[in-house]
Amino acid sequence: MTHALVAETPHAHPARLLVVMPAFNEARGIRRVVEAVRDQVAGDVLVVDDGSTDETAAEARAGGARVAVHPVNLGYGAALQTGYRYALRHGYDAVLQLDADGQHDPASIPRLLTALQGADVVVGSRFLDSGSYRPPLARRIGMWLFGRVASALSGQRITDPTSGFQAISREALRFYAHERYPVDYPDADVLAMVARAGLRLAEVPVRMLPPPDGKSMHGGIVKPFYYVFRMSLALFLVPLRRETR
């Protein structure tokens, strides 16, 4: 897996890029995030409003984004798949995905897009950037464990298996848009499947910030236990699957 920092050149960016941002009740800050992303790339920004009950869609449009709205909350993975299928349907060359809460620093976007020249999926790793936010110890241990399992299954070192900060080629979009893609937590298991399907996987250092208000999609009492169970089962099943592009 590629860990070296690559040179950032504007000529390396895909001709037609779609930025996909899944969002759920992010009205408070999504306009600012969309504007920061648009300062970094010339491509279109698609916010997938996953059943929000606030003004997420209106604020995203005010920031200059296109918006796709789910009438009900379908899950993080389902929101991403809406973006992938939109990109394929409208002929985009690549997708850059990041979270709508501002945790993923848009200034790291050029690094991901440059690395996409030699890969199909580029994962932004907070653990390769010394100034990046580190999650609490318990979560770091879980990330390390799932990263080790995913690394063994993929034959490549994966340092940040839960990172949603990614650049994805059109070839990989076809793989991601398939029904195999999880509707809830697409993390370590998806990266292992990508590598086993023969797609080129790389990691680059990116800066991540603390989640606003300390919230996380893995927060609460029940969600962490469900996540561990679901990811453990998914990784167990990876060697039993026959992956094709």
The pLDDT of residue 207? 94
Helix axes 137-154, 222-237, angle to 10 degrees: 10
Residue 245 lies in a domain: no
Can you tell me the distance from the alpha carbon of 203 to that of 16, in angstroms, rounded to the nearest whole number?
Answer: 22
Local confidence band at 9 (pLDDT 50, 70, 90 cut-offs): very low
Residue 115 lies in a domain: yes
Percent of the chain with pLDDT over 70: 86
Lowest-confidence range among 3-12, 166-175, 198-207? 3-12
Residue 244 lies in a domain: no
Query: pLDDT for 133-146, tens place per residue?
Result: 878 777 788 888 88
Burial grade of 161 (CB within 10 A; 0-12, 13-18, 19 or more): buried
> Which residues are paired to 46 by β-bridges?
20, 66
CATH code, 105: 3.90.550.10
Give me the chain's average pLDDT, please: 86
Q: How many domains does the chain have?
A: 1
Q: Contact, 33 vs 101, CB < 8 A?
A: yes
Lowest-confidence range among 77-81, 116-120, 139-143, 207-211? 139-143
Lowest-confidence range among 32-36, 44-48, 146-150, 218-222? 218-222
The pLDDT of residue 213? 67
Can you tell me the distance from the alpha carbon of 42 to that of 147, in angstroms, rounded to the nearest whole number?
Answer: 33
Q: What is the mean pLDDT of residues 225-244?
A: 69
**Domain of 142, in residue numbers:** 12-239
Nearest to 177 by CA among 100, 83, 104: 83
For 61-200, list the strands marked E by DSSP. 66-70, 94-97, 121-125, 166-169
Residue 1 lies in a domain: no
Residue 56 lies in a domain: yes
